[in-house]
Structure 1
Amino acid sequence: MNKAALFLPLIIFIFSSSVIAETIGNISAVQGSASIQRGEQVLPVRPDTLIQTGDQLITPKGGKIRFRLRDNTRITLAEGTRFSIKRYQYNAEKSTSDVKFKLAEGAFRAVTGAIGLQKKPVFEVETSVATMGIRGTDFWGGFIFSDALDVTMISGKGVYIRNADGQVELTQAGQGTTVKAGQAPGAVKSWPESKLQRAIATTALEGDE
């Protein structure tokens, strides 16, 4: 058999693996313990651990992590969270992005980096009841206060929340909405300061200002 034919599958495999394994960011802070589900592997998380598209980040009770992506977006996960990186495409030269995450349980806070400065960023977080998207902002979402999804905008340009039953948009800091399974997102309301601070506290790490 031709030697080239023998090596071709190996070359294709190596090339494919390098594409799949593209590094898109790293863990910047860890409080307690956490892990990454990567295919069939479960990897411990430490500061500077590299993350890839397809990773699911998992924080148990007492664990929190913060990670930073290539565009300087920072995402913090509360304890008891499962958060997957489904897609991360960012092109600084063309000012384009296509980013998608999935929150299975728990809560997160995201502060967008360069992607949030783009005219038409594509940056979404999918959940079982609705999808959240940003227009350049600092926002929080999670299943902490009840079985429903709560979302609030801490600062920025806006956050939209949509599902098959409807869509709302948060346009001012402190506004929030609640989404129950099988229902349209609830009316936009200004959150009481106590609720806002409770949400922020779930994703605050020791030493945060």
Structure 2
Amino acid sequence: MNLRRRTCVAALSAAALLGVAGPARADNRIGEAVLVQKDVLRIAGASTSPINVGDGVVRNETVRTGTDSAARLVMIDSTNLSLGANASLTLDRTVFNDETSYRDIAIRLGTGAFRFVTGHSEKTAYKINTPLATIGVRGTILDIRSRRGETMVVLQEGASRVCTLTFQCLELTQPGDTAIITATGQGRSAIRKTSNPSWSFAATCTSTSGLCTVTDLASSAPPQDFTGILCGR
């Protein structure tokens, strides 16, 4: 029996002996909402419910903001995700490395404007996807706008590799470097780079107090039950 298997068995046995229980989806909690302005919803299957400050966010659910609304989510590893109005994202996949970092985290951005600030996980753990692009990060602050037929990625800090779905890639290495991916029809897209972006998330930050503040959740979050996640559930 390998070490990972022994660890999982031991953890599950201890949980059983101690009678560990809780909400059905407690082991899926991967962060929380720290700022909510107006209408912010969680969508899980056919179920829709409002998100309030302090509510947990979980895997495989979509977070959506309404008109004149905004939200900021902070993951367990202190990744900060800010959403502008009429934006949606889905937390596709998370595999924990330990209580404050991920081995793998995938975030799918639907439509809208976002700011992404990496947390304490290894940078290779992060995978950001839009309908037109895949985005890799290296200690990064990114502004991302996803709308029908176009994705724009603006580097604010760090570095990023942006690729089309057909693996045409650009490296963003200087603040202001911007990748613009546009759909060209028949499942194809084009990518270009500029250092003079026509948009950034800055105006959205200014319009909503605290939206672009960075919260270090990992240093203050209470201990979580990661048994299921570490064991592959």
TM-score > 0.5, shorter chain as reference: yes
Mark the runs of 5 or more structure 1 residues left unpaired by the alignment: 1-14
Report if aligned partners of 1:77, 1:203 keep a CA contact under 8 Å in 2. no
**Change in CA separation of 1:41 and 1:152 when aligned onto 2, cut-off 3 Å:** same
SS, match of residue 201 in structure 2: helix
Structure 2 letter corresponding to 1:179: I
- In structure 1, the residue matched to 2:38 is 32
Which consecutive unaligned segments of at least 5 residues does structure 2 have?
1-20, 214-233
TM-score of the superposition, structure 2-length normalised?
0.71
Given that 2:42 and 2:51 are in contact with CA atoms closer than 8 Å, whether structure 1 keeps it comes out as yes
Q: What is the aligned counterpart of 2:72 among 44, 49, 66?
A: 66
Indicate how the Cα distance of structure 1 residues 94 and 37 shifts in structure 2: closer, same or farther if over 3 A, else same.
closer
Q: What TM-score do you get using the length of structure 1 for normalisation?
A: 0.79
On the 8 A contact 1:87/1:100 being kept in 2, the answer is yes
Q: Deviations over 1:99-148 (max 9, x none)?
A: 11111111211111102xx2x5221111111111111211011136x841
RMSD: 2.6
* Deviation sequence 1:23-81 (CA, Å, 0-9, x none): 10000001121100022210101101111001100011111000000001100011111
> What count of residue pairs does the alignment treat as equivalent?
186
What residue in structure 1 maps to residue 179 of structure 2? 177
Q: Which residue of 2 aligns with 1:103?
A: 109
User: Equivalent residue for 1:200?
Assistant: 202
User: Which of 89, 93, 101 matches 1:87?
Assistant: 93
Residue 161 (structure 2) aligns with: 160
Residues 69 and 204 (structure 1 numbering): CA distance in 2 closer, same or farther, change over 3 Å? farther
Instruction: Quote how far apart the aligned CAs of 1:199 are.
Output: 2.9
Distance 1:70 1:96, change over 3 A: closer
What are the superposed Cα offsets for residues 130-167 of structure 1, whole Å, 9 maximum, x if unpaired? 111111211011136x84111011112x1111120501
